[in-house]
Structure 1
Amino acid sequence: MSIKNILVAHTGSSGFESSVRYSAKIAAKHGAWLTAVYGGTSSYFDQVLGLTDDLHERLMSVRNEKIVQSVQLFDKLTAEAGIADRAHFISPVQVGNSSLPEIARSFDFVVTGYQPKLPNDEFRSVSPDLVALQSGRPVLVVPDQYVSESLADHALVAWDGKRSSARALNDAMSVLEEKPRKVSVLTAGDVLSELPEGIGIETHLERHGIQAEHLTRSRSGRSIAEVIQATAAEVGAKLIVMGAYEHSKFSQDLFGGVTHEVIRSTRVPVFMSH
């Protein structure tokens, strides 16, 4: 997959600046177009409790001020990256009733910021794993205040041999094939089935010109997400590639999951697919 059309999803969080900076670097490198969309930030009080016309007007005024500030920031960062002529900001009015997954289907992948740390802020955020599921497009999560002078030159691929990790690896292949780039494939625990020689993941990567080291780590009482994060720090990976949740969205919300835990605590960008 060549990278030519990137969507940045912004819902008013402070992670917008980090996600625009990083995606602008990607767009500049690949000669791609960058579009930002602002939406999904209606107030909890507006949704559930209802508001008087006066209070609603005040909230909309604050929201409109944030939108203006976001447009100014987007224009500034894309100009600095040299892609102003290929950058576009879509306002909520232009979005209308279209959902983020519907919009995302017309792009190569979606970039979004961090997940809020407070449970009662979850309603404000873009849910990367859910967007990946509903849009059929990969999602790149950039941590809040993440700063990098260059794009990642070392990727850690979380590999358990399941459908979603295979999809994520395939979607990220154009990124992993870039030279120079180091790739580490991580398997947490004894989860892989025995395959005939010559048809494993290492062979697949080698045939794409990717020389990858395969790391196996014991869980040792840790969650899979903790193993992924610890290994990324250990090997110095600047990008994590992984599949989105394998279970139902209900169980993911109720009990949490690997994807959710990783994107809440990651210190480097995470590229995920479902």
Structure 2
Amino acid sequence: MTIKNILLAHTGSAGFPHSLRHAVKVAKRHEAWLTGIYGGPSSYFDQVLGLTEDLHDKLKTVRAAKIEGSRELFQQEVEAAGIENRARFLMPEVIGKLSLAEIARNFDFIVTGYPPKLPTDEYRAVSPDVMALQSGRPVLVVPDDYISEGLANHVLVAWDGKRASARALSDAMTVLEDAPKKVSILTVGDVLHEMPTGTDIVTHLERHGIQAEHILRPKAGRKIAEIIETTASEIGAQLIVMGAYEHSKFSQDLFGGVTHHVIRTAKVPVFMSH
């Protein structure tokens, strides 16, 4: 995947400045276009509570001011990076009734912040895993308060040999091939079949000019998400690449899952595909 067209989805969270600055770095590095959008057409109060017209108007005014503040910050950051000619922030009146997923399908991938932590926020923000599912595009999730001097030079790829991890790896190839880049492949538990010589994932990466190490970790009763995050911290990885949930979204939310956990607790950006 060549990176030339990036969508920055702002869901109203406090982490927007960090996802914005990271998206600007990616756009500048790859000479890509960056489009910002304020996601979430309405709020919890709009959908659940019966508001008087006066209160509704006041909330609308507050929301408009917040969106304008986000647009101004977006403009400041792209101008500081010298990419203002390849950047645009779309206001709600331009988007109309289009969903975030409909818009995202016309981009290479989506950059966004951590999913909402407050239940009331769920009504105005689309979670990154849902974004990946509905749009068919990879999503880069940037943690709240994440700060880095540059882009990742060490990437951890969570690999179980399944469809979702293969899709994520393929979508991230441009990032992995961006030398100099150290790549570590992490497999948790005895989940891989023995492959014929020359058909394993490390060989595949080598043929793309990527020298990768394969780290095997036992599950040993621990959560896979915990092992992924611990390993990333131990080896100094600054980006995690992984497939989104393989099971239903309902079961992931009800019982918890690898994707669900990692994108809410990881300390570094997570690049995922469904």
1:127 Cα offset (Å): 1.2
CA contact (8 A) 1:239 1:268 kept: yes
Opposite residue 143 of structure 1, the aligned amino acid is P
Opposite residue 99 of structure 1, the aligned amino acid is S
Q: Distance in 2 between matches of 1:240 and 1:42?
A: 32
Aligned to 2:9: 9
Counterpart mapping for 1:63-212 below 5 A: 63-212=63-212
CA contact (8 A) 1:112 1:126 kept: no
1:41 Cα offset (Å): 5.3
CA-to-aligned-CA distance 1:184-230 (integer Å, 9 cap, x gap): 00001111112112101011001001000000111222111000000
Q: Distance in 2 between matches of 1:230 and 1:249?
A: 25
CA-to-aligned-CA distance 1:149-185 (integer Å, 9 cap, x gap): 1000000000000000000000000110011000000
Q: Distance in 2 between matches of 1:39 and 1:206?
A: 39
Aligned residues: 274
Q: Distance in 2 between matches of 1:108 and 1:218?
A: 35
Opposite residue 262 of structure 2, the aligned amino acid is V
Opposite residue 65 of structure 1, the aligned amino acid is A
CA pair 41-220 structure 1, distance change in 2 beyond 3 A: farther
Give the percent of matched residue pairs that are identical in Structure 1 and Structure 2: 68
Moved more, 67-76 or 112-121: 112-121
TM-score (norm 2): 0.97
Question: Within the alignment, does 1:264 sit opposite 2:264 as a pair?
Answer: yes
CA-to-aligned-CA distance 1:109-168 (integer Å, 9 cap, x gap): 000011233344333433111111111110000001110110000000000000000000
Opposite residue 225 of structure 2, the aligned amino acid is A
Identify unmatched segments of 5+ residues in structure 2.
none
Q: Distance in 2 between matches of 1:162 and 1:107?
A: 25
CA contact (8 A) 1:12 1:41 kept: no
Q: Distance in 2 between matches of 1:186 and 1:39?
A: 33
Kindly report structure 1 stretches of 4+ aligned residues shifted beyond 6 Å.
Answer: none
Q: Secondary structure at the match of 1:149?
A: coil
Counterpart mapping for 1:215-254 below 5 A: 215-254=215-254
1:81 Cα offset (Å): 1.2
Aligned to 1:43: 43
Q: Distance in 2 between matches of 1:150 and 1:224?
A: 28
Q: Distance in 2 between matches of 1:199 and 1:261?
A: 31
Q: Secondary structure at the match of 1:103?
A: helix
Q: Distance in 2 between matches of 1:134 and 1:32?
A: 23
Q: Secondary structure at the match of 1:18?
A: helix
Opposite residue 100 of structure 2, the aligned amino acid is L
Compute the RMSD of aligned alpha carbons.
Answer: 1.1
Q: Distance in 2 between matches of 1:114 and 1:81?
A: 24
Q: Distance in 2 between matches of 1:144 and 1:39?
A: 17
Q: Distance in 1 between matches of 2:118 and 2:260?
A: 13
